[in-house]
Amino acid sequence: MSVSEEVKITGKSLEKFPDVIKVFALVKKAYALTNAQFGFLPQELACSIAQQCDLLAQNPSTLKVELWQSDFTLLNTRFAAYVTEKTGIGADKINLLQSIQDISQTVESIVIYRRLSILIDDVAYLQKALTEKANEFSNEIRLMRTHVMESAVGTWGQTFGALALSIDRARRHLISHRGEYKQVVLGRMLFGVAINDSNVYTKALLERLSKELGIDLEEPHSVYEPVAKSALINEMMGNEKFIYLAGDLKALAMINARIGHGFVIYGSGPRAGISEISLPAIAPGSTIMPGKINPSMAHLMFQIAEFVSVNEQMAAFAFNELDFDLTHQMGGAFITMIEMLEALGKGSRLFVDKCVKGFTVLSDNNKDHVRHSPSLANLVEAFKGQDAAQKVRQRMHSEGIGCKEACIKEGLYSEKEAGCLFDLKTMAYSGMDPEKVAFFMGLKK
């Protein structure tokens, strides 16, 4: 065992991420069997190596490798030693025609592709839940706020619909990244000096690995490629796709946190806060504060957003510190990336199951807040002037009545006119049409 293998820094190993070991084992299996197919390796040796790869994929905890390594050199060394111990086959045969650059880029890309696919499903799960809430609360009037101050009239259905659209946009951004992680450089560098064109060997290798994984892997390509091999070299250098993906993961995390933030504000109380919604009692308050519900799932969204925001920088740092040419060293960013994907996916599902599904609206409180909102006096100011609006606000405050009632008492509108002007359902669903505006401006009878 070399000195570098004995160094312990983090104490964390790839045992936490068994899918990395599984994909690595299938890559090594694909090499062994393809090498046998082309006569580079005896069939019996290839089968022995492939058998050990299958066993390792079934029990990935066999190889315990620390996470601080920048690429898969240490994992590759451990793997070769493991197979040699089991079969007696030398490392030169186990690693035949392989390079760490090829293996690192391929394993990382496949793992991210699979985990990204899982996250996309998790995000769709959240989007579906928000859409269902939009339909459930389509008739629930609410008072929207600007800087947490009373503003326009709307519905909780509209609010949830808007949140569902934000999540859908994030999901579509994630889908747009996935294709790039199907492009792998497997078999393209030989002996550290020859960068191969696509050939029968590389195609056979890619086809075999695709079959093992159930993913249609692709060779690097781009319709914008200036000269031949540009796309290939771009992948071997370690391109900036991690930065783009990390940015969209951060955007998703911020959307989730914003939803959680809204839940905290509108669920605040139970008596002295806004108290327009009720969250499931995942972590009820103490017995000295009856009715209190701690917004634990909302806080989880904050914590995940903090985690993702901090770790998003790893993608930029790792890219900036790469060698200019052919060393694909995205190790730190890779581990951080799969942790972000996992946290966002699990967090989204937990948020749905433990919070969104049990979310309810306090209808009476919402209606009361809308009726008594001083912001409705803005209509009076627009149609009757600032002095009239000020009198309405003062009466609302002194008598504890709604804007409609205050207008009638001030003699500004008849009961029928006030009912038309302050038709809150119509205001929430469609706003004020030009004919109504014209009538209250005195331009139309």
Q: What is the 3-state secondary structure (H, E, C) of the chain?
A: CCHHHHCCCCCCEHHHCHHHHHHHHHHHHHHHHHHHHCCCCCHHHHHHHHHHHHHHHHCHHHCCCECCCCCCHHHHHHHHHHHHHHHCCCHHHHCCCCCHHHHHHHHHHHHHHHHHHHHHHHHHHHHHHHHHHHHHCCCCEEEEEECCEEEEEEEHHHHHHHHHHHHHHHHHHHHHHHHHHHECCCCCEECCCEECCCCHHHHHHHHHHHHHHCCCCECCCCCCCCCCCHHHHHHHHCCCHHHHHHHHHHHHHHHHHHHHHHHHHHCCCCCCCCCCEECCCCEECCCCCCCCEECHHHHHHHHHHHHHHHHHHHHHHHHHCCCCCCCCCCHHHHHHHHHHHHHHHHHHHHHHHHHHCCCEECHHHHHHHHHCCHHHHHHHHHHHCHHHHHHHHHHHHHHCCCHHHHHHHCCCCCHHHHHHHCCHHHHHHHCCCHHHHHHHCCCCC
Please determine, for residue 401, whether its predicted confidence score (pLDDT) is greater than 70: yes
- Which one has a higher pLDDT value, 170 or 16? 170
User: Is residue 79 within 8 Å of residue 63, measured between CB atoms?
Assistant: yes
Global model pTM greater than 0.75 = yes
Band of residue 316 on the pLDDT scale cut at 50, 70, 90? confident
Q: 49-79, pLDDT tens digit by residue?
A: 999 999 999 988 887 777 656 678 888 998 9
Quick one: average pLDDT of 411-424? 96
Please determine, for residue 149, whether its predicted confidence score (pLDDT) is greater than 70: yes
- Which one has a higher pLDDT value, 320 or 218? 218
% of the chain with per-residue pLDDT over 70: 93
Q: 230-265, pLDDT tens digit by residue?
A: 999 988 888 889 999 999 999 999 999 999 999 999
- Give the distance, in angstroms, between the CA of residue 175 and the centroid of all CA atoms in the same chain: 11
Residue 46, CB half-sphere, CA atoms under 13 Å: how many?
17
User: Is residue 292 within 8 Å of residue 270, measured between CB atoms?
Assistant: yes
Please determine, for residue 289, whether its predicted confidence score (pLDDT) is greater than 70: no
Please determine, for residue 444, whether its predicted confidence score (pLDDT) is greater than 90: no
Please determine, for residue 287, whether its predicted confidence score (pLDDT) is greater than 60: no
Tell me the average pLDDT of the chain: 91
Quick one: average pLDDT of 38-55? 97
User: Is residue 359 within 8 Å of residue 287, measured between CB atoms?
Assistant: no
Residue from 263, 323, 273, 271 nearest 295 by CA: 263
Quick one: average pLDDT of 287-311? 82
Please determine, for residue 350, whether its predicted confidence score (pLDDT) is greater than 80: yes
Please determine, for residue 2, whether its predicted confidence score (pLDDT) is greater than 60: no
Residue 283: predicted pLDDT: 62
- Report the C-alpha gap between 322 and 373 in whole angstroms: 58
- Which one has a higher pLDDT value, 148 or 216? 216
Range in 3-17, 232-246, 250-264, 359-373 the model is least confident about: 3-17
Amino acid identity of residue 440, one-letter, is: F
Quick one: average pLDDT of 215-234? 94
Please determine, for residue 397, whether its predicted confidence score (pLDDT) is greater than 60: yes
Q: What are the CA-CA distances from residue 308 to residues 19, 218, 253, 364 (Å)? A: 21, 29, 7, 38
Residue 145: exposure state from Cβ atoms within 10 A (0-12, 13-18, ≥19) = middle
Quick one: average pLDDT of 259-279? 90
Residue 1: predicted pLDDT: 44
Residue 3: predicted pLDDT: 39
- Report the C-alpha gap between 108 and 23 in whole angstroms: 9
User: Is residue 338 within 8 Å of residue 78, measured between CB atoms?
Assistant: no
Structure tokens, 135: 């339909």
Residue 239: predicted pLDDT: 84
Residue 328: predicted pLDDT: 63
Residue 94: exposure state from Cβ atoms within 10 A (0-12, 13-18, ≥19) = buried
Quick one: average pLDDT of 145-172? 96
